[in-house]
Chains A and B, each alone.
Chain A
Amino acid sequence: MSKLKQNIWITLLLAMIFIGILGAILPKNPDKYLKDRFWAFKVHNNKKYNFIILGDSRTYRGISPYEIENILPEFSVFNFAFSNGGLNPIIYKAAETKLDEKSKSLIILLGVSALTINDISLPNEQYVQELKMPKEEVFERIYFGKYLNYFSPVTPLMVKDLIKGTKFMSKYISIYHDNGWVESEKFPVDTLEAIPYYEKDFTSHTTNYHLVNELCKQISLWKSKGIKVFAFRPPASRPLMNLEDSIGKYNESLIKQQIEISGGYWIDINPALYKTYDGSHLPKAEARELSQYIANKIKIYLATVSK
Chain B
Amino acid sequence: MQFNSIIFLFFATLFFSIWHFTKSNVKFKLIFLTIASFFFYGWWDWRFVFLLLFTGLIDYFAAIGITCFPKYKKLLLISSLLSNIGTLSLFKYSGFISKNIDQLLGTSLNSQINTFFLIIPVGISFYTFQSMSYTIDVYKGKFKPTKNIFQFFAYLSMFPQLVAGPIVRAKDMLPQLIGQRQPLKEDCWEGFRFIVKGCFKKMVIADNLAPIVVNAFNNSIVLESSAFWWGAVIAFAFQIYCDFSGYSDIACGLARWMGYSFPDNFNHPYTSTSLREFWSRWHISLSTWFRDYVYIPLGGNKKNKCRSHINMWITMVISGLWHGAAWTYVMWGVFHALFLSIERILKWPTQKFSNQFIRFLAWMFVTLEILVAWVFFRANSVQHALDILKVMFTFKGNWSLGWGLNGSIFVLIIIFREIMVYTGIEKRVKLRGSIGAFAEMLLYAILIALIIFFRGNGSEFIYFQF
**Complex: chain B residue closest to A21, CB-CB:** B449
Report yes or no: A140 in contact with B192, Cβ–Cβ below 8 A: no
**Complex: chain B residue closest to A155, CB-CB:** B406
Q: A171 contacts the other chain (Cβ, under 8 Å)?
A: no
Report yes or no: A156 in contact with B406, Cβ–Cβ below 8 A: yes
Residues of chain B within 8 A of A139, CB atoms compared: 6-7
Counting residue pairs across A and B whose Cβ atoms lie within 8 Å, the total is 85
Q: Give Cα A4 to B448, complex, Å.
A: 18
Determine how close the nearest CB of chain A comes to the CB of B204; give it in whole angstroms. 10
Residues of A within 8 A of B (CB): 2-5, 7-8, 10-15, 17-19, 22-23, 26, 134-137, 139-140, 144, 151-157, 160
Q: A2-B185, A11-B448 are in contact. List 16 more A-B contacts (CB 8 A).
A: A4-B185, A5-B188, A7-B440, A7-B441, A12-B445, A13-B445, A14-B445, A15-B444, A18-B446, A18-B449, A22-B453, A136-B8, A137-B5, A151-B453, A156-B454, A157-B404
Determine how close the nearest CB of chain A comes to the CB of B203; give it in whole angstroms. 9
CB-CB contacts of B450-461 with A at 8 A, as 1s and 0s?
001111100000
Determine how close the nearest CB of chain B comes to the CB of A194; give it in whole angstroms. 26
Report yes or no: B404 in contact with A7, Cβ–Cβ below 8 A: no
Known: A4-B185, A4-B186. A157 touches B406 (CB 8 A): yes
Residues of chain B within 8 A of A137, CB atoms compared: 5
Report yes or no: A140 in contact with B7, Cβ–Cβ below 8 A: yes
Q: Give Cα A4 to B193, complex, Å.
A: 11
Interface of B is mostly: helix
Q: B405 contacts the other chain (Cβ, under 8 Å)?
A: yes
Q: B189 contacts the other chain (Cβ, under 8 Å)?
A: yes
Residues of chain B within 8 A of A10, CB atoms compared: 441
Residues of chain B within 8 A of A14, CB atoms compared: 441-442, 445
Residues of B within 8 A of A (CB): 1-2, 5-8, 43-44, 185-186, 188-189, 192, 208, 404-406, 409, 437, 440-442, 444-446, 448-449, 452-456
Known: A5-B188, A26-B453. A156 touches B405 (CB 8 A): yes
Residues of chain B within 8 A of A23, CB atoms compared: 453
Report yes or no: A153 in contact with B448, Cβ–Cβ below 8 A: no
Q: Give Cα A15 to B455, complex, Å.
A: 15
Q: Give Cα A185 to B406, complex, Å.
A: 30
Determine how close the nearest CB of chain B comes to the CB of A135; give it in whole angstroms. 8
**Complex: chain B residue closest to A150, CB-CB:** B452
Determine how close the nearest CB of chain B comes to the CB of A32; give it in whole angstroms. 10
Cβ 8 A contact of A8, one of B2, B43, B189, B406: B189
Report yes or no: B453 in contact with A154, Cβ–Cβ below 8 A: yes
Residues of chain A within 8 A of B189, CB atoms compared: 4-5, 7-8
**Complex: chain B residue closest to A25, CB-CB:** B453
**Complex: chain B residue closest to A18, CB-CB:** B449
Residues of chain A within 8 A of B452, CB atoms compared: 19, 22, 151
Q: Give Cα A144 to B7, complex, Å.
A: 11
Q: Give Cα A10 to B442, complex, Å.
A: 9
Determine how close the nearest CB of chain B comes to the CB of A127; give it in whole angstroms. 21
Determine how close the nearest CB of chain B comes to the CB of A20; give it in whole angstroms. 9
Residues of chain A within 8 A of B43, CB atoms compared: 135-136
**Complex: chain A residue closest to B408, CB-CB:** A156
Known: A19-B448, A157-B406. A8 touches B5 (CB 8 A): no
Q: Give Cα A135 to B44, complex, Å.
A: 9
Cβ 8 A contact of B448, one of A18, A135, A152: A18
Known: A4-B185, A19-B449, A144-B6. A153 touches B454 (CB 8 A): yes
Report yes or no: A11 in contact with B441, Cβ–Cβ below 8 A: yes
Instruction: Identify which of A22, A139, A154, A156 gathers the most chain B CB atoms within 10 Å of its CB.
Output: A156
Determine how close the nearest CB of chain A comes to the CB of B195; give it in whole angstroms. 10
In the complex, 19 of the A-B residue pairs with CB atoms within 8 angstroms, ordered by the A residue number, are A2-B188, A4-B189, A11-B192, A14-B441, A17-B445, A18-B448, A19-B452, A22-B453, A23-B453, A136-B7, A140-B7, A151-B452, A154-B453, A155-B454, A156-B405, A156-B406, A157-B404, A157-B405, A160-B405
